Amino acid sequence: MGYDLQVTRSEGKPITEAEWRTYVAGDPEFELTGAAETPTPEGILRYENPGLSCWRSHPSGEVVWFDFRLGQVVVKNPDEPTIGKMLIVARALDARVEGDDGEIYETPDGRPQPARVSLGARLRLWVSQHRPAPKVEPPVVPFVVGQRVDFQGQLGTVAAIDVRANHGMGRIEVRLDDGRQLTFAAVAHGLEPILRREE
């Protein structure tokens, strides 16, 4: 899948396609292509996106794709020269260069700053970590050990019940008449109690 970097802004203020097109038109190192093709063993693989642009001034001479989508400009697996170009683009668009996990790139050497988490997000995390866990009520089982049950047309006998097992989901063990022993979660067992005695 690779590692993506994005030229992006804060939430609620995306880069518009018009802004991106204006930037590309004013930077002679870029060409707005809208499509890219690459050969594969099965034939030509083509990718189309109206905001797709290529940067043709990489020091190695290779073409690097800058893909505008969803209010940001995405580059896959960028190296130092590409990160440097992304920083130039970000400054021009009043944006920042951000990694997949929210880390911020301020220099092209590939060493990001940790993700900047807002005070509100930190407070929500602290509260969620210190909130007591809700009490889980054990499931109610409509039969007892030794009672006959029906599971999808197969008859058996309840061998064991533990409503607190499986992190509160409960466990029911049933010995079927054909000799098999099955285990069910008490919260979703699918067993029907046989209320009258079998003759």
Give tens-digit pLDDT for 75-89. Answer: 998 999 999 999 999
Distance CA 93, CA 75 (A): 16
For residues 60 and 3, give the distance between their C-alpha atoms in angstroms, rounded to a whole number: 20
Q: Is the pLDDT of residue 91 over 90?
A: yes
The pLDDT, as a whole number, for residue 148 is 93
Q: What is the mean pLDDT of the chain?
A: 85
**Average pLDDT rounded to a whole number, residues 145-156:** 90
pTM given for the model: 0.55
* Res 199 pLDDT > 70: no
Q: Which residues pair with 45 in a beta bridge?
A: 38
Percent pLDDT > 70 in the chain is: 88
121 pLDDT higher than 80:
no
Contacts of 173 (CB under 8 A, 6+ apart): 158, 159, 160, 161, 181, 182, 183, 184
- 48 secondary structure, DSSP code: E
Fold of 148-193: OB fold (Dihydrolipoamide Acetyltransferase, E2P) (2.40.50)
- Over residues 12-31, the mean pLDDT reads 92
- Strands annotated E in 34-170: 35-40, 43-48, 52-55, 64-69, 72-76, 96-99, 104-105, 148-151, 154-162
163 or 196: which leads in pLDDT: 163
Q: What is the pLDDT of residue 185?
A: 85
Mean pLDDT of 193-198: 69
Annotated domain spans of the chain: 4-113, 148-193
